[in-house]
Structure 1
Amino acid sequence: MSARTDLLRRHFHDAVIDLARHLHADGVIEKTLGRPLPVVVFDMECPGWEAHATECANPPELIEEFTAWLRESGEI
């Protein structure tokens, strides 16, 4: 992977996490969907990243079940 590709991927990851955080902070998810729901973040080109990204993108109480499922399945 080139340095430029790596930089673009990291920028994309940061942007996706930041967007999810803002959607939570601004109440957009709750207003739109009727309740707070976790944003599960993933990148098909970067397996294994979703656990870290989802943890960073959401309030901890929203991802407890997701994190437990990842632990049970051996993903983290």
Structure 2
Amino acid sequence: MPANDNGDLVDPAHMHAALRHFAKHGLAAAQHAREQAIIAARAGDRPTFEWWLEICRALDRRMARKLHRSHACAGDTGR
């Protein structure tokens, strides 16, 4: 296991999507994923919010934690 592995793993589908997203948006990719998650949350689209949250998590865990806390609802995993 890598020395920096803290067990907060991202599943392969989200990692692949995050890498493609990074290739398209560069260093702004995490912020863009966060914005997409917020748009989905405001629209009440929980599955899309979760998708973008996981992409954000793959790119910037700290940003994803803050995003999750600000849009948490019952039944969340609390990651």
Task: Using structure 2 for the length normalisation, give the TM-score.
Answer: 0.41
- In our comparison, the structure showing a higher alpha carbon Rg is 1
Q: State the TM-score, normalized to the length of structure 1.
A: 0.42
